[in-house]
Structure 1
Amino acid sequence: MKRVLFDGAALISRLLLGVIFLAHGLQKWQAGFGIMGRLFTQAGIPLPQLSAAYATVVETVGGAFLIIGLLVRLSALLLLIEMIGAYLFVHAGHGIFIETGGWELAGASAAALVPLLALGGGRVGVDGILNRMYRRRAERRAAEADLAAHAPTVPAPTGTGEPHAGEARPGESGTGEPRRGESGAGESAHQTRPTSIPRQGTAPSSGKLTDDDIPEIDSLISDEPGKGRPPNR
């Protein structure tokens, strides 16, 4: 609520002061720098030509800027300097009232310019629009920076069991073929090595009987148990 009241008061002050200064500046502009320089010389103002040009330009441009709300603080500062110079070199010693050449108009204008110089022209104006644009842009940048600072870090990808491009699978050579001594993919888990078969005794090299075989044959034919093969000689 206070901000709304300030914006309204600043707008009214800007409009009234802007119209007053713009009217005086246009009046001086129509008279011309030559005539204004001679008047400033008669008034005892130092550097009359330069002072006349300063007063004409500042009142015209500064008054217009106050109306539209552009560069309000700078315009208020330049106009306040002119009002101080007007009091010091023209109105001082002539009392208060304007009929006697007093300083009431210069003093009232300076008093109205001080709040605009200190606080600005409010949100209703070009300065207010630009300030809102800059503030939103700064807030957006701050939000983006804060989001980037609190963003979770993504860990580096670890091995997933799949070979990278250009790498051979386990059990494969660089060309995709199984390595020597290893089974192909899917076969090594199901195949087992063949069990070793005991070596069988060898048959006699010939079908002829030897002297050692005769006792065994006799024991098979007779009822008596065989004496077995005599011990090796």
Structure 2
Amino acid sequence: MTDRSLRISDVTALLARIVVGATFVAHGLDKAADLEGTAGFFGSVGIPFPEYSALLGTGVEIIGGALLILGLVLPAAGPVLAAQMAVAIATVHAGQPLVGGYELPLVLGAAALALGFAGGRFALDRLLPWGRTRTRPDAEAAPAGNS
């Protein structure tokens, strides 16, 4: 891949992280604005421990969305957000059609999962030890081939 392609890929990953992360944060803040109502709704669709689940789901969306935007702990944030959307599909959207039903949580979950493992170079993870590119010192010193 060329250097220009890498730059474009990194910019589009950043843009996707911002859009998807902001969507999660917005949905989480909406739940937080009426946590009691959210818990009541969760209870009505059969989600166990609705008060705890409402608090947990709200936190996952707000914190996970913010982490996605920042590009921080992406390999954890992406799958957790995807799992949140899988739960939403299985509980809230069970039996609904794709269009007008579960397409939003499906797309958000898949996007979060993908961005968790391909968040681009413009992520805070790149500044941390697990995000740095490592080179093997012995690979650089090894001869090109044996004759």
Measured after TM superposition, the shift of residue 67 of structure 1 is: 1.0
Contact conserved, 2:26 with 2:62, CA < 8 A, in 1? yes
Contact conserved, 1:123 with 1:129, CA < 8 A, in 2? no
Question: Are 1:17 and 2:20 an aligned pair?
Answer: yes
Match in the other structure for 2:62:
60
Contact conserved, 2:126 with 2:132, CA < 8 A, in 1? no
Identity %: 35
Cα distance in 2, alignment partners of residues 89 and 133 from structure 1: 35
1:65-95, Cα deviation, whole Å (9 max, x unpaired): 1111111121111111110001111112121
Cα distance in 2, alignment partners of residues 128 and 10 from structure 1: 13
Match in the other structure for 1:204:
none
Match in the other structure for 2:11:
8
Q: Secondary structure at the residue paired with 1:91?
A: coil
Letter of the structure 2 residue corresponding to residue 28 of structure 1: K
Cα distance in 1, alignment partners of residues 63 and 112 from structure 2: 15
Question: Are 1:116 and 2:115 an aligned pair?
Answer: yes
Q: 1:70 to 1:133 in 2, by over 3 A?
A: closer
Contact conserved, 2:125 with 2:131, CA < 8 A, in 1? no
Measured after TM superposition, the shift of residue 133 of structure 1 is: 8.1
Cα distance in 1, alignment partners of residues 29 and 77 from structure 2: 16
**Structure 2 unaligned spans of 5+:** 142-147
Letter of the structure 2 residue corresponding to residue 84 of structure 1: A
Q: 1:12 to 1:24 in 2, by over 3 A?
A: same
Cα distance in 1, alignment partners of residues 130 and 96 from structure 2: 46
Measured after TM superposition, the shift of residue 36 of structure 1 is: 1.7
1:129-154, Cα deviation, whole Å (9 max, x unpaired): 3259854xx66x949xx8xxxxxxxx
**Structure 1 unaligned spans of 5+:** 147-233
Taking structure 2 as the reference length, the TM-score comes to 0.80
Over the residues paired in the alignment, what is the CA RMSD in angstroms?
2.4
| Alignment of structure 1 residues 82-93 onto 2, 5 Å | 82-93=84-95
Measured after TM superposition, the shift of residue 35 of structure 1 is: 2.5
Match in the other structure for 2:73:
71
Contact conserved, 2:81 with 2:113, CA < 8 A, in 1? no
Contact conserved, 2:24 with 2:64, CA < 8 A, in 1? yes
Cα distance in 1, alignment partners of residues 10 and 80 from structure 2: 22
Cα distance in 1, alignment partners of residues 45 and 14 from structure 2: 34
Cα distance in 1, alignment partners of residues 86 and 14 from structure 2: 23
Q: 1:133 to 1:12 in 2, by over 3 A?
A: closer
Moved over 2 A (4+): 1-6, 129-135
Taking structure 1 as the reference length, the TM-score comes to 0.52
Q: 1:54 to 1:123 in 2, by over 3 A?
A: same
